[in-house]
Amino acid sequence: MENRTPTPGIAPPDIVRCAYTDLVVTDLERSRKFYVDVLGLHVTEEDENAIYLRSLEEFIHHNLVLRKGPVAAVAALAYRVRSPEDVDTAEAYYKELGCRTERRKDGFVKGIGDSVRVEDPLGFPYEFFYETEHVERLTQRYDLYSAGELVRLDHFNQVTPDVPRGRAYLEDLGFRVSEDIKDSAGVTYAAWMHRKHTVHDTALTGGDGPRMHHMAFATHEKHNIIQICDKMGALRISDRIERGPGRHGVSNAFYLYILDPDDHRIEIYTQDYYTGDPDNPTITWDVHDNQRRDWWGNPVVPSWYTEASLVLDLDGNPQPLTKRTETSEMAVTIGADGFSYTRPDDESGSYAGEAAKGFKIGTQL
């Protein structure tokens, strides 16, 4: 592929896991109501410009920074690396990639020490850090445990036009692919990539980018996710439930997508599987498989394909978007030109352009 990001001559930093999102919101108090009062994230500290939040089982300073700003966007997707030296490595790695980098020995945000932020080859603001303030891990603080408790940050999901290009770049960076969605013509629609032993630390979703599709928090059990829906119903904000709850085909996790007051998308996610073996099998899904995105065949709403959050460059300006040129997953699966199947062997589902037998009709136009 001519468009491939070059592989640097040096080893990449040893990334441990996705760690936090630095998120710009336009009304801090309104966002606080959503993340603290509705979702129950725990406040590590806050001031008039920013709120630092963490999930129940987290011991680093935060998993989410809400930062007041003029335009709703993502200021950084931050990964923790294995050692202080890996921050140096990250800086060198991206410099060799020709990317703009910024190093701050005291960190970009409270609670985080020596860090480097970069504008990566896909246009995303990535941060790498090791130093962080340890805070009380609330794992056994069941006196604080809400019915819809969020216990871990699970992953990011990024929108980028050219998924294979992004995938190769992330594989060079040490990520491994657990699952992907393709078609028989070789087009890749999405890929899931991990460092920790879960299905992903980040995923790439094909579309106009760079944008953040969502970030995901994990719960312990499925009923915790149902409670979040029930609570949003009680608060009469059910219109902020965008999609789900459901069972993913990809990842096998039980999921829910909701929208924050700035339309940043949050996934609530539980019970994917262990991926830590070196030969963990990669699963490839057919884009026409009607159970790939929802194992129960429930429809993906169009907004889920089209909407996403802007990301910022290191000056704090929104990155311009590059159009996806390959076919879109929405187009090939929904509506007049798309088709999907539930049972690939059904005769009527054997050629494109016609709804397959076994497809759940009436719900996808």
CB contact at 8 A, 309 and 211: yes
Taking the complex as a whole, the smallest distance from the CB of residue 333 to a second copy amounts, in Å, to 14
Separation of alpha carbons 315 and 53, rounded Å: 24
Taking the complex as a whole, the smallest distance from the CB of residue 162 to a second copy amounts, in Å, to 27
In the bound state with a second copy, the residue whose beta carbon lies nearer, of 34 and 67, is: 34
**Mask for 5-44, x = binds a second copy (CB under 8 A):** -----------xx---------------------------
Of residues 293-312, those binding a second copy (CB under 8 A):
295-299, 301-303
Q: Taking contact as CB under 8 A, which single stretch among the options 25-33, 101-109, 155-163, 277-285 is the one that binds a second copy?
A: 277-285
Q: What is the DSSP string of 297-325?
A: -PPPPHHHHH--EEBB-TTSPBPPPB---
The 8-class DSSP code of residue 132 comes to B
Which has the closest alpha carbon to 327: 211, 204, 189?
189
In the bound state with a second copy, the residue whose beta carbon lies nearer, of 126 and 359, is: 359
353 touches a second copy by CB under 8 A: no
For 43, the token pair is 């406040």
Whether residue 210 is preceded by a cis peptide bond, meaning omega within 30 degrees of 0, is yes
Taking the complex as a whole, the smallest distance from the CB of residue 147 to a second copy amounts, in Å, to 4
**Mask for 84-123, x = binds a second copy (CB under 8 A):** ----------------------------------------
CB contact at 8 A, 129 and 19: yes
In the bound state with a second copy, the residue whose beta carbon lies nearer, of 68 and 360, is: 360
Cα distances (Å, whole numbers) of residue 53 to 64, 120, 209, 258? 5, 25, 27, 18
**Mask for 165-204, x = binds a second copy (CB under 8 A):** -------------------------------xx-------
Of residues 118-157, those binding a second copy (CB under 8 A):
134, 137, 139-147, 149, 151-152
Separation of alpha carbons 254 and 71, rounded Å: 31
Taking the complex as a whole, the smallest distance from the CB of residue 292 to a second copy amounts, in Å, to 11
The 8-class DSSP code of residue 142 comes to G
CB contact at 8 A, 274 and 197: yes
Which has the closest alpha carbon to 130: 163, 92, 90, 172?
90
63 touches a second copy by CB under 8 A: no
- The site for a second copy, by CB under 8 A, has a size of 76
Q: Taking contact as CB under 8 A, which single stretch among the options 119-127, 176-184, 233-241, 323-331 is the one that binds a second copy?
A: 233-241
223 touches a second copy by CB under 8 A: yes
Of residues 313-352, those binding a second copy (CB under 8 A):
342-343
Taking the complex as a whole, the smallest distance from the CB of residue 194 to a second copy amounts, in Å, to 11
Separation of alpha carbons 263 and 13, rounded Å: 32
In the bound state with a second copy, the residue whose beta carbon lies nearer, of 100 and 360, is: 360
Separation of alpha carbons 195 and 193, rounded Å: 7
Taking the complex as a whole, the smallest distance from the CB of residue 259 to a second copy amounts, in Å, to 10
Cα distances (Å, whole numbers) of residue 118 to 20, 78, 169, 273, 313? 15, 10, 14, 31, 9
Which has the closest alpha carbon to 168: 121, 118, 200?
121
286 touches a second copy by CB under 8 A: no
**Choice from 160, 178, 205, 291 touching a second copy (CB under 8 A):** 291
Q: What is the DSSP string of 3-65?
A: TPPPPPSSPPP-EEEEEEEEEEES-HHHHHIIIIIIS-PEEEEE-SSEEEEE-TT--BS-SEE
Taking the complex as a whole, the smallest distance from the CB of residue 90 to a second copy amounts, in Å, to 15
In the bound state with a second copy, the residue whose beta carbon lies nearer, of 26 and 342, is: 342
Taking the complex as a whole, the smallest distance from the CB of residue 361 to a second copy amounts, in Å, to 8
